[in-house]
């Protein structure tokens, strides 16, 4: 079953009214099947975050289609989607539990079951010891983990993570990677953008690669790197070819 | 999910966040200064001591309310966008207009807290507890105006940069008061086009000058029930108009 289908997504931005519109996404198409862990790769400015923002209706594509669970995107779909933005910033005056309660209340009709679910996600992201601490006292890694906790809180069918490991120290990165591995074992469908190829190689089974707003690859990870030692080497080689193509 | 639950949650969240900022305490401090100044100023007069005291104190209340409404109103949503706290909230199954209503709800809470706090402090400091109902009615008229400014500030705040919106909100407040003065001067010019223009503008802006009750006279001689109902209906019609505009523009705003 297709959880997400992106068809010919196009997006242009105009920074000033007198300037020419800049194309940031040009015919992006890919799909995510149920249970897949999809890595979303591309250099800075390639259009990863813009694509994710289009998926979640934060910005509106000029053309193209986005289908969630086989339907056009609607508000109800958000109940089935968990999202962690890049470099998340949360309401610092709330405690971990209050923060999760806020997101529970914004998603669910009643508070029934919150405490049980909060206990599960706190354990999953290894923050049980800090659940009553204010977020302003959380480290960057802890904030990233509470971000994952809020994304998982309502038991989503599909998780979208925008660079969940950026800027973390090695310990934080290892911990997040372990959490993501656990999610993979539970067969959760995940779309994760990242620059950390080594981590993606460990976690993902599918890859979507964008470069300068253009779709470059969408398919199994193994196929992409089959002629190379690892993902990094394959990516480096292909990137040279794509850049040459752009310059030519 | 109940329509009002998410609005209530966002209102309380917004209000508790703004109450923690130094800015809110600065306004409270300025208001306390106003109460102090009103006492100081009134002590200079023998004949109209009470009048100076009430007029100056109630003006302080309205200035505080307008500062809260315009500053917070213009920054409420843009601040959340800049800090990216809005992203995780927008990813929840709530329509965008709930976020606008939540921001307005937080302004309502802040304005209510400020109005009651200031009025009580002022009444206690002047020792005129028996005039409390009159003071509350006068403060209520300022509150209504502040709520109109809040909704205007929210609407403009989602369209243009906050600093420009702030200037526009303050100009709007001044303009809604001073139209009769503008009309007076325009009539002196005998320019029929300008007179018609001012008459037309007069029809399409809130008429704050018709319920300007933040003064000694109104505290001593309360406005009639009908006048009060008119002020409430007039204000809420404008509030709804601007909230609708804010929701409409925010619906298609790109959260980049």
We report the CATH number of the domain holding residue A230 as 3.40.50.300
Evaluate if residue B203 carries a pLDDT over 90.
no
Contact A109 B1 (CB under 8 A): yes
Chain B: which residues have CB within 8 Å of chain A?
Answer: 1-2, 5-6, 9-10, 13, 16-17, 20, 83-85, 87-95, 252, 254-256
Tokens standing for A36?
Answer: 């897949």
Give B84 to chain A, closest Cα distance, Å: 6
The predicted-structure confidence for B63-112, as pLDDT tens digits, reads as follows: 999 999 999 999 999 999 988 899 999 999 999 999 999 999 999 999 99
DSSP A167: T
Partners of B99 on chain A (C-beta within 8 Å) are none
Cβ–Cβ gap B93/A78 under 8 Å: yes
CB pairs under 8 A between A and B: 71
Percent of the residues in chain A that have a pLDDT greater than 90, as a whole number? 59
Cβ distance B254 to A56 less than 8 Å, yes or no, reads no
- Are A164 and A84 in contact, with CB atoms under 8 Å apart? yes
Contact A107 B93 (CB under 8 A): yes
Band (A109; pLDDT cuts 50, 70, 90): confident
**pLDDT at residue A247 above 70?**
no
| For residue B1, pLDDT beyond 80 | no
CB spacing of B84 vs A89 below 8 angstroms: yes
Helices H, strands E: what count in chain A? 8, 10
Range of the domain at B45: 3-175+210-251
Asked whether the beta carbons of B108 and B116 are under 8 A apart, the reply is no
| Domain of A171, in residue numbers | 2-247
What token pair was written down for B225? 């029930």
Return phi, psi of residue B207, to 5°. Answer: -100, 80
Look at residue B102 and tell me if it is in a domain.
yes
Q: What is residue B2's predicted lDDT score, i.e. its pLDDT?
A: 63
Tokens coding A25: 């996404």
Residues of chain A contacting B1 with CB distance shorter than 8 Å: 107-109
Å from A213 to nearest chain B CA? 16
pLDDT at B68 (0 to 100): 93
The two structure tokens encoding residue A138: 């959380």
Residue of B nearest to A58 (CA): B255
Q: What share of chain A is helix, strand, coil (3-state, %, to 5)?
A: 40, 25, 35
Residue B146 scores a pLDDT above 70: yes
User: What's the pLDDT score for residue A246?
Assistant: 60
CB B254 to CB A76 under 8 A?
Answer: no
Residue B181 lies in a domain: no
Angle, CA A37 vertex, CA A35 and CA A41 arms, to 5°: 150
CB atoms within 10 A of CB B68: 25
How do beta strands A2-13 and A81-84 pair?
unpaired
Rounded distance between C-alpha atoms, residue B230 and residue B6, angstroms: 31
Tell whether B7 is covered by a domain. yes
pLDDT band at B3 (very low <50, low <70, confident <90, very high): low
Nearest-CA distance A79 → chain B (Å): 6
pLDDT confidence of residue A137 = 94
Token pair 């100056």 is found at: B56
pLDDT of residue A242: 74
pLDDT confidence of residue A19: 81
Using CB atoms, pick whichever of B6, B84, B254 lies closest to residue A106.
B6
Chain B positions touching A75 (Cβ under 8 A) are 93-95
Confidence check: pLDDT of A3 > 70: yes
Residue A23 and residue B137: Cα distance in Å, rounded? 56
Alpha helix segments (H runs only) across chain A: 48-55, 96-107, 114-124, 140-152, 170-185, 197-203, 221-224, 231-247
Mean pLDDT throughout A7-22? 86
Local confidence band at A173 (pLDDT 50, 70, 90 cut-offs): confident
- For residue B238, give how far its alpha carbon lies from the nearest alpha carbon of chain A (Å): 29
* Residue B205 covered by a domain: no
Would you say A193 and A49 are in contact if contact means Cβ atoms under 8 Å apart? yes
Q: Is the pLDDT of residue A169 over 90?
A: no
> ipTM for the complex?
0.88
Do the strands A158-162 and A37-41 form a parallel or antiparallel pair, or are they unpaired?
unpaired
Partner residue opposite B84 with nearest CB, options A79, A85, A109: A85
Alpha helices for A11-113 (secondary structure H): 48-55, 96-107
Q: Is the dihedral of CA A98, A102, A108, A109 positive or negative?
A: positive
Give CA angle at B96 (B92, B99), nearest 5°.
85
| Residue A58 near residue A81 (C-beta atoms within 8 A) | no
Share of chain A above pLDDT 70, in %: 98
Query: Which positions in chain B touch A87 (Cβ < 8 Å)?
Result: 84
Q: Is the pLDDT of residue A111 over 70?
A: yes
Which two tokens mark A9?
A: 């997504």
Task: Evaluate whether residue B230 is within a structural domain.
Answer: yes
Count of CB atoms situated within 10 Å of the CB of B174:
11
Of B9, B20, B93, the CB nearest to A102: B9
Whole-model pTM? 0.91
Q: Is the pLDDT of residue B227 over 90?
A: yes
Question: Within a domain: residue B112?
Answer: yes
Domain tally, chain A = 1
Q: Give the distance from residue A55's alpha carbon to the nearest chain B alpha carbon, in angstroms.
A: 10
A63 within 8 A of A8, measured Cβ to Cβ: yes
Distance CA B123, CA A56 (A): 51
Identify the contact set of chain A against chain B, taking CB-CB distances under 8 A.
13, 53, 56-60, 75-76, 78-79, 81-85, 87-91, 93, 102-103, 105-109, 147, 150
Q: How many domains, chain B?
A: 1
pLDDT of residue A230: 87
Instruction: Give me B178's structure tokens.
Output: 């001073």
- The answer to whether the CB atoms of B1 and A107 lie below 8 A apart is yes
Closest CA to B60 of B125, B150, B129: B125
For chain B, give the number of residues.
256
Strand-pair category, A206-211 with A214-220? antiparallel
Q: Is residue B186 part of a domain?
A: no
- Chain B residue with minimum CA distance to A160: B91
Among A57, A58, A95, the strongest candidate for a mutation testing the B interface, having the largest count of B CBs within 10 A, is A58
């Amino acid at each position: 079953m297709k959880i997400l289908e992106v068809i010919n997504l196009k997006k242009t931005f105009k920074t000033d009214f007198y300037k020419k519109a800049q194309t940031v996404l040009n015919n992006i198409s890919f799909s995510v099947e149920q249970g897949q862990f999809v890595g979303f790769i591309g250099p800075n400015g390639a259009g990863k975050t813009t694509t994710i923002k289009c998926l979640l209706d934060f910005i509106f594509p000029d053309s193209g289609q986005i289908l969630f669970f086989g339907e056009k995107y609607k508000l109800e779909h958000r109940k089935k989607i968990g999202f962690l933005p890049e470099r998340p910033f949360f309401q610092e005056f709330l405690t971990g539990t209050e923060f999760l309660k806020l997101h529970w209340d914004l998603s669910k009709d009643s508070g029934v079951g919150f405490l049980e679910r909060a206990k599960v996600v706190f354990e999953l992201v290894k923050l049980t010891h800090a659940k009553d601490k204010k977020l302003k006292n959380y480290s960057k890694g802890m904030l990233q983990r509470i971000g994952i906790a809020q994304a998982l809180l309502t038991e989503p069918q599909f998780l979208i993570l925008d660079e969940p490991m950026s800027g973390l120290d090695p310990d934080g990165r290892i911990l997040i990677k372990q959490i993501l591995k656990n999610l993979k074992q539970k067969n959760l469908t995940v779309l994760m953008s990242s620059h950390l190829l080594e981590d993606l190689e460990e976690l993902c089974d599918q890859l979507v690669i964008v470069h300068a707003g253009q779709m470059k690859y969408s398919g199994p990870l193994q196929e992409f790197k089959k002629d190379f030692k690892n993902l990094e080497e394959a990516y480096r080689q292909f990137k040279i070819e794509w850049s040459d193509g752009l310059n030519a | 999910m109940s329509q009002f639950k998410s609005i209530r949650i966002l209102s309380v969240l917004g209000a508790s966040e703004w109450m923690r900022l130094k800015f809110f305490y600065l306004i409270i401090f300025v208001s306390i200064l106003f109460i102090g100044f009103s006492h100081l100023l009134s002590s200079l007069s023998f004949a109209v001591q009470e009048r100076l005291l009430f007029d100056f104190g109630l003006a302080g209340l309205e200035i505080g309310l307008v500062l809260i409404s315009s500053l917070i109103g213009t920054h409420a949503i843009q601040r959340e966008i800049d800090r990216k706290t809005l992203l995780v909230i927008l990813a929840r199954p709530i329509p965008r207009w709930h976020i606008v209503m939540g921001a307005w709800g937080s302004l309502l809470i802040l304005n209510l807290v400020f109005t009651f706090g200031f009025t009580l402090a002022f009444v206690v400091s002047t020792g005129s507890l028996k005039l409390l109902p009159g003071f509350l009615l006068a403060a209520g008229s300022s509150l209504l105006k502040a709520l109109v400014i809040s909704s205007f500030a929210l609407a403009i705040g989602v369209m243009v940069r906050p600093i420009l919106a702030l200037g526009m909100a303050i100009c709007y407040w001044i303009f809604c008061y001073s139209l009769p003065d503008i009309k007076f001067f325009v009539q002196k010019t005998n320019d029929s086009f300008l007179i018609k223009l001012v008459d037309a503008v007069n029809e399409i802006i809130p008429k704050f000058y018709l319920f300007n009750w933040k003064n000694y006279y109104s505290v001593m001689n309360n406005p009639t029930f009908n006048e009060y109902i008119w002020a409430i209906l007039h204000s809420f019609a404008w509030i709804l108009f601007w909230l609708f505009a804010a929701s409409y523009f925010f619906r298609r705003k790109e959260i980049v």
